[in-house]
Amino acid sequence: MNPVRKNLILIFVLFSVFAAELIFTSPAHALSIAARIGDQYTEVVGGDRLYFEVEIKYPENPRRKDLRLEYQIFENEIVIASEKALRAVETQASFLDYIVVPKGAKSGIHELNVVITDYAVLHQEVSATFKVLKGRDRVVNYFLILLGAIALVGVLVVIQLIYGGRGNSGGGIKLQSYSHVSKDERLYYEIAASIIAQTLSLVGEKAIKAAQGIDGLEVDEKTGKVLRIRGDPAKVISSLIRSVESNFGKRMSFALRVKNK
């Protein structure tokens, strides 16, 4: 074969290979996806929505493109829930989405998978973990909070009776009346008022300042009277109890000591 012709054939073959790579090679390596579950949603109950954030980066994408996404929940490596979504992306996109956790999901660690399902060359997958709690766990938590609040009120009442019977001329602190509050909420108002009143007898005005720092609790800045409880009253009482225990715990335990006669 003529050497010149042989060289021309070789150049043509190399050029064809190079052109094929340019045409058929996809910039899939430039596509990336990330998923993150917020701290407040790392523990959910079956039937709840699991919210998560998805971030997609596609810097080599020349124009706006619709990507098909699939959200999957895995339990022991088995898909127990799946949702599909369509998202428009240019070079990058970030959005919040959710998938409903099945009511029959077992308690324990589960895995959330976010998959880009467009074509084999664009296939990307990322995962994050979360915990499923038993449905009764929340009920038990609220019950324990309320039980703890009632127990603390009982202890504070006993302390007040001890101090009242040992010559406190004031006869103790008079609790405010909450007859104007509905029966369903009155117990929470009286519990909060009792805690504030007993803490006032131990630490003075610091008790009112501590109560004013509780989210959802409004008190009179002079008397400490509970004016309003917003949101979940059980959570407000729980926050008040934790505040009293953390800020004035030592003073409260000191109140139980028997003084020398």
142 with 129, same domain: the answer is: no
**Matching residue, tokens 């919040």:** 96
Beta bridge partner(s), residue 32: 57
- Six-digit token pair at 261? 């006669």
- What is the rounded CA–CA span in Å between residue 69 and residue 124? 10
DSSP letter assigned to residue 214 = S
What does each C-alpha distance from 225 to 175, 204, 228 come to in angstroms?
A: 8, 14, 9
164 with 117, same domain: the answer is: no
Q: Which long-range contacts (CB under 8 A, 24 or more apart) does 137-143 make?
A: 137/45, 138/45, 142/234
Q: Phi-psi category of 251—alpha, beta or left, where left has phi over 0 and alpha has psi -120 to 50?
A: alpha
Number of domains in the chain: 2
**Residue 170 is part of which domain span?**
136-255
146 with 242, same domain: the answer is: yes
Q: Is residue 105 part of a domain?
A: yes
Q: Is 12 helix (H, G, I), strand (E, B) or coil?
A: helix
Average pLDDT, the chain: 79
The model's pLDDT over 110-163, given as tens digits with 9 standing for 90+, comes to: 999 999 887 666 788 999 999 999 866 666 767 778 888 888 888 877 776 665
89 with 186, same domain: the answer is: no
Q: What is the pLDDT of residue 223?
A: 84
129 with 142, same domain: the answer is: no
CB atoms within 10 A of CB 101: 22
Q: Is residue 261 part of a domain?
A: no
Q: Which residues contact 227 (CB under 8 A, 6 or more apart)?
A: 218, 219, 220
147 with 126, same domain: the answer is: no
Residue 256 pLDDT exceeds 60: no
User: Closest by alpha carbon to 118, among 150, 88, 77, 160?
Assistant: 88
In single-letter form, the type of residue at position 210 comes to: A
Q: How confident is the model at residue 28 (pLDDT cuts 50, 70, 90)?
A: very low
Residue 98 pLDDT exceeds 90: yes
The model carries a pTM of 0.44
